[in-house]
């Protein structure tokens, strides 16, 4: 029932998380809840980045390993590993991330559309860039990232040193 916040509001809330050394964010309205890592039942014959399914209060929910999605080296999960349950196209999907840092409130003006032309960057997968003090958060378009079969390398969705911070 919740909907994404649009214009007209002064503040947006984002759930920030880490992958490798990059910081990302998703709109809090897309986030159902955040879980500690739990036992995942692997699914045969599915995309390599689909880690499997988990039981969330009796519902069976698929879980995507974002590290694998972005072709990163596998890392043993640790205490910090989290599953962010997001709602995408009316379905709950879990995202395994290195860690969830915090929930951030941004003035909506602090979120800017992705820079349009940067070599090697898939700006179509980025909803915007949030600048907060000296941090740079990339707001991912989770829906697009999960609905395409293409291989996406992490550096395609990070800005790295391509823009001035």
Give the residues lining the site for another protein (CB under 8 A).
1-3, 5, 7-11, 13, 15, 28, 31, 33-36, 38-39, 41-46, 50, 52-62, 88-93, 102-103, 105, 146
Which of 56/155 has CB closer to another protein?
A: 56
CA 115, 85, 112 angle in degrees (round to 5)? 15
Task: Let me know: does 31 contact 102? Beta carbons within 8 Å.
Answer: no
CB of 32 to another protein, least distance (A): 9
Angle at 44 between CA 154 and CA 49, to 5 degrees: 5
Q: How far is the CB of 151 from another protein (least distance, A)?
A: 18
Nearer to another protein, 61 or 72 (CB): 61
CB of 144 to another protein, least distance (A): 14
* Among 2, 145, 139, CA closest to 64: 145
* Minimal distance, residue 159 CB to another protein, in Å: 25
Q: Express the helix, strand and coil content of the chain in percent, nearest 5 each.
A: 15, 45, 40
By beta-carbon proximity to another protein, the closer residue of 5 and 71 is 5
Q: Would you say 74 and 91 are in contact if contact means Cβ atoms under 8 Å apart?
A: no
Minimum CB distance to another protein smaller for 138 or for 146: 146
Radius of gyration, CA atoms only, the chain? 16
Nearer CB in complex with another protein: 54/159: 54
Q: What minimum distance in Å lies between the beta carbon of 162 and another protein?
A: 30
């Amino acid at each position: 029932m919740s909907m994404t916040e649009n214009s007209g509001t002064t503040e947006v809330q984002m759930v920030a998380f880490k992958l490798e050394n990059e910081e990302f964010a998703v709109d809090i309205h897309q986030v159902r809840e955040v879980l500690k890592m739990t036992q995942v039942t692997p699914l045969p014959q599915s995309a390599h980045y689909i880690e499997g399914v988990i039981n969330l209060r009796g519902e069976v929910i698929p879980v995507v390993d974002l590290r694998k999605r972005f072709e990163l080296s596998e890392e043993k999960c640790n205490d910090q590993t989290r599953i962010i349950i997001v709602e995408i196209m009316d379905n709950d999907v879990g995202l395994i991330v290195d860690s969830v840092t915090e929930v951030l409130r941004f003035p909506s003006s602090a979120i800017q559309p992705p820079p349009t032309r940067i070599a090697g960057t898939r700006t179509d997968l980025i909803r915007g860039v949030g600048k907060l003090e000296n941090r740079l958060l990339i707001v991912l378009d989770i829906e697009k990232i999960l609905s395409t079969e293409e291989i996406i390398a992490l550096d395609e969705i990070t800005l790295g040193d391509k823009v001035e911070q």
